[in-house]
A and B are shown apart, each in its own frame.
Chain A
Amino acid sequence: AQRVTQPEKLLSVFKGAPVELKCNYSYSGSPELFWYVQYSRQRLQLLLRHISRESIKGFTADLNKGETSFHLKKPFAQEEDSAMYYCALKGSGGSNYKLTFGKGTLLTVNP
């Protein structure tokens, strides 16, 4: 069975501070990992995916297969980063409609 764990329900940082949202997964094969974000009063949207190895809005995430982690990082948090963040996993051989989501981390960036 595949599982995604986000250990922090809430994370609060000050503007300009580094931020790391943790995500650990359990899956026996080669997973694909994603971060989705939900800003206040907006719909859920894709932030980044590990395959692309891209940086979006200053956020990066590296897949660490040894530690089965996909932590989301940003060196200098901004107030507009305040949102709910979900880590999600798609198992190999599965299709993109069968994502397993973590329970989410609510990030608050204080001025």
Chain B
Amino acid sequence: NAGVTQTPKFQVLKTGQSMTLQCAQDMNHEYMSWYRQDPGMGLRLIHYSVGAGITDQGEVPNGYNVSRSTTEDFPLRLLSAAPSQTSVYFCASSRSGTNEQFFGPGTRLTVL
């Protein structure tokens, strides 16, 4: 199993550009989440999904959209990037009934 994969690893955007961060898992996990990691701020939940077709907002959802059309994929969209969205983004998945989240390797995003 590849586990949780994320692409790209690095990305530089200009203010106002849009892009999609990809996340996929091959463990048939129901739950998937997106976090952002900022220095001194820890990990903050952006959006999450409890299954295909179901998504909800986390702690810091503004500026981000998500969708969950399949169990495997959970892309994160930035419609109009802002410098405040410069961060490292982590995708995670977990199985219903367990307490362990499995994290992807992260995407380092810089918005100029």
Identify the A interface with B (CB < 8 A).
4, 6, 9, 32, 34, 43-46, 49, 51, 86, 90, 95-104
Q: Which residue of A lies closest to B6 (CB)?
A: A43
A104 to B90, CA, bound (A): 15
A43 to B23, CA, bound (A): 14
Please encode chain B, from 79 to 102, with 1 for each CB lying within 8 Å of some chain A CB and 0 for all others: 000000000001010101011111
Assess whether B42 is in contact with A97, with CB atoms less than 8 Å apart: no
Partner of B42 from A43, A90, A102 at Cβ < 8 Å: A102
The B63-112 residues at the A interface (CB cut-off 8 A) are 90, 92, 94, 96, 98-106
Q: Is the contact region of chain B dominated by helix, strand, or loop, or is it mixed?
A: strand
Assess whether A46 is in contact with B48, with CB atoms less than 8 Å apart: no
A86 to B37, CA, bound (A): 11
A46 to B45, CA, bound (A): 17
Q: Is the contact region of chain A dominated by helix, strand, or loop, or is it mixed?
A: loop
Taking A102-B42, A103-B42, A104-B42 as contacts, is the C-beta distance between A97 and B33 under 8 angstroms?
yes
Given contacts A44-B43, A46-B101, 4 further A-B contacts (CB under 8 A): A49-B99, A96-B31, A100-B45, A102-B42
A84 to B49, CA, bound (A): 27
Name 6 interchain pairs, CB-CB below 8 A, sorted by A: A44-B43, A96-B94, A96-B100, A98-B45, A98-B58, A99-B101
Asked if B40 is at the interface (CB within 8 A of a chain A CB), the reply is yes
Assess whether B103 is in contact with A44, with CB atoms less than 8 Å apart: yes
Asked if B2 is at the interface (CB within 8 A of a chain A CB), the reply is no
Residues of A near B99 (CB, < 8 A) are: 32, 34, 49, 51, 90, 96
